[in-house]
A and B are shown apart, each in its own frame.
Chain A
Amino acid sequence: MAAAEEASRPFAGLSDVSISEDIPVEGDISVPVGSSRRDDEFSTLDEPVKETILRDLRAVGNKFIHVLYPKRSSALLRDWDLWGPLLLCVTLALLLQGGAADSDDQGGPQFAEVFVIVWFGSIIITLNSKLLGGTISFFQSLCVLGYCIMPLTVAMAVCRIVLISGSGNVSFAVRLVVVTVSFGWSTFASTAFLADSQPPNRKALVVYPVFLFYFVIGWMILTFSPSQ
């Protein structure tokens, strides 16, 4: 049939269409060279693994230094990461083991209890500061609170060293001083980072839970008693 023949060659009617010579048609369908150069800067797929690890370690170490010398800088807030808090939490929980916890259940906190207190405590404090109208984001706040545990972890290490030499009154006095100083340092460092993000008439409402959090951690460190 003529109609079917027409249907089988749908573009037959266009065979005589041509573009006249005086309408320039130009274009470039190749990929511009510049964008691939930009991609290379962000693409870290080809670099050696050592460099990837070292970059993250350097970022974590940089934040440790910011906690040691707390100034009003935004480096901790801008590039937050949770590696540092995880490392510190695991170290603290491991150091709190080996106490008088194996024989009976009247001992110190278990590994999981330390984890729960640190992470759930940080989450609750972050929620509290956000509900009170804070402008800091969830993970930034977790990052700050986790990194500021560092003085207390250092104090825990010092306490264990002191306890090796003895557990009398002198060692208790030394441990008390060390834990108190590090607790004050932690609270001061974290409020230096967090205080700017709160409305001024609610600053104390946000600082108090942070104070309580580090107080409880300091208490766990101070009451660590080695097994006999």
Chain B
Amino acid sequence: DPEASTLSGGGRGEDVKLDLSEDEEGQEESSELLGGQKPTGGFWTFEYYESFFNVDTVQVLDRVKGSVLPLPGRNFIKHYLRSNPDLYGPFWICVTLVFSVAISGNLSTFLGEMGNPSYHYRPQFHRVTIAAVVIFMYAWLVPIGLWGFLTWRQGTERQIGGYSFLETVCVYGYSLFIYIPTSVLWIIPFEWLRWTLILVAMVISGSVLVLTFWPVVRDDTKVMAVAYSCDHCGFTHPAGRRL
């Protein structure tokens, strides 16, 4: 039977490697059984972290596209990540966002003060530090909190089907991508345009997260879900205002 999975036993009770055939069925079976891609090696080895960067250019572009166009019914984790969450996207999207926020904030200050004869241009490099702290805290601490909270809730109610920590971080990272073009367009000095842009970005980013997490949270009390989304909006609003 060419489609059978072969099991090669590891020695001395160590990692058991599962050799799978190349068809779709085999891969989906394994993902349900193992609950995702298991990284090889301990967390002190280089191979452990290499497994988080196992993506191609096409896959990253596909995930970015999926974060910008959230279609109802398309769970980001199930549809795009498919048990292969990566850290490349979240990390480099955060870094790009830090610099684009700092640079466009600096430029919009400059354009706003251009008519002022006593204004002398300053690079305002401290914006980079502030933006880095805020964005990295949002992209890493909030997923940690959410994942811990969801795992705790599932633990008490004995449900299955939660998301792994890496998948949560991945969704948050990719959902931040829409803010990059938004921050670039913020240079245009019209207030109504800026408010429209930030609202559109929040709706898109939020809906990516909602489409992903609603199926898990909906079985829980609705109060929790509403409380969470208020907290999320409350974060992005001051972050946008700081520009």
Taken together as a complex, chains A and B put the C-alpha atoms of A128 and B103 apart, in Å, by 24
Interface size for chain A: under 10, 10 to 19, 20 to 34, or 35 or more residues?
Answer: 20 to 34
Q: Does A113 count as interface, using CB distance less than 8 angstroms?
A: yes
In contact, A133 and B50 (Cβ under 8 angstroms):
yes
In contact, A216 and B57 (Cβ under 8 angstroms):
no
Instruction: List, in ascending order, chain B residues with CB within 8 A of A215's CB.
Output: 99
Q: Does A139 count as interface, using CB distance less than 8 angstroms?
A: no
With A100-B120, A100-B122, A108-B123 given, is the CB distance from A131 to B57 under 8 Å?
no
Q: Give the shortest distance, in Å, between A226 (CB) and chain B (any CB).
A: 10
The total number of A-B Cβ pairs within 8 Å is 68
Q: Give the shortest distance, in Å, between A220 (CB) and chain B (any CB).
A: 7
Instruction: List, in ascending order, chain B residues with CB within 8 A of A132's CB.
Output: 53, 88
Q: Does A107 count as interface, using CB distance less than 8 angstroms?
A: yes
Chain A stretch 208-228: residues in CB contact (< 8 A) with chain B: 208-209, 212, 215-216, 219-220, 223-225, 228
Binds B, one of A69-77, A183-191, A197-205: A197-205
In contact, A128 and B125 (Cβ under 8 angstroms):
no
Contact for B57 among A108, A203, A212, A225, CB less than 8 A: A203
Interface residues of B, count at CB 8 A: 24
Q: Does B197 count as interface, using CB distance less than 8 angstroms?
A: no
Instruction: List, in ascending order, chain A residues with CB within 8 A of B52's CB.
Output: 131
In contact, A205 and B122 (Cβ under 8 angstroms):
no
Contact for B53 among A131, A204, A208, CB less than 8 A: A131
Interface string of A102-133 (1 = CB under 8 A from B): 00111111000100000000000000101111
In contact, B126 and A106 (Cβ under 8 angstroms):
yes
Q: Which of B49, B56, B57, B99 gathers the greatest number of chain A CB atoms within 10 Å?
A: B57
Q: Give the shortest distance, in Å, between B40 (CB) and chain A (any CB).
A: 14
Q: Does B159 count as interface, using CB distance less than 8 angstroms?
A: no
Instruction: List, in ascending order, chain B residues with CB within 8 A of A212's CB.
Output: 92, 95-96, 99
Chain B stretch 102-132: residues in CB contact (< 8 A) with chain A: 103, 106, 120-126
Instruction: List, in ascending order, chain A residues with CB within 8 A of B96's CB.
Output: 212
In contact, A224 and B123 (Cβ under 8 angstroms):
yes
In contact, B58 and A201 (Cβ under 8 angstroms):
yes
Instruction: List, in ascending order, chain B residues with CB within 8 A of A133's CB.
Output: 50, 53
In contact, A106 and B124 (Cβ under 8 angstroms):
yes
Q: Does B141 count as interface, using CB distance less than 8 angstroms?
A: no
Q: Does B60 count as interface, using CB distance less than 8 angstroms?
A: yes
In contact, A225 and B125 (Cβ under 8 angstroms):
no
In contact, B49 and A201 (Cβ under 8 angstroms):
no
Q: Which of A100, A203, A205, A225 gathers the greatest number of chain B CB atoms within 10 Å?
A: A205
With A205-B57, A216-B99 given, is the CB distance from A131 to B50 under 8 Å?
yes
Which residue of A is nearest B60, CB measured?
A205
Which residue of B is nearest A216, CB measured?
B99
Instruction: List, in ascending order, chain B residues with CB within 8 A of A205's CB.
Output: 55-57, 60, 88
Which residue of B is nearest A227, CB measured?
B120
Which residue of A is nearest B124, CB measured?
A106
Taken together as a complex, chains A and B put the C-alpha atoms of A225 and B57 apart, in Å, by 38
In contact, B58 and A228 (Cβ under 8 angstroms):
no
Q: Give the shortest distance, in Å, between A107 (CB) and chain B (any CB).
A: 6
Taken together as a complex, chains A and B put the C-alpha atoms of A69 and B115 apart, in Å, by 44
Chain B stretch 202-239: residues in CB contact (< 8 A) with chain A: none
Taken together as a complex, chains A and B put the C-alpha atoms of A107 and B128 apart, in Å, by 12
In contact, B122 and A225 (Cβ under 8 angstroms):
yes
Instruction: List, in ascending order, chain B residues with CB within 8 A of A107's CB.
Output: 122-123, 125
Q: Give the shortest distance, in Å, between B109 (CB) and chain A (any CB).
A: 10
9 residue pairs, one from A and one from B, having the closest CB atoms: A131-B53, A223-B123, A106-B122, A204-B57, A201-B56, A108-B123, A109-B125, A106-B124, A132-B53
A-B pairs with beta carbons under 8 Å apart, 5 shown: A99-B123, A128-B92, A132-B88, A201-B56, A225-B122
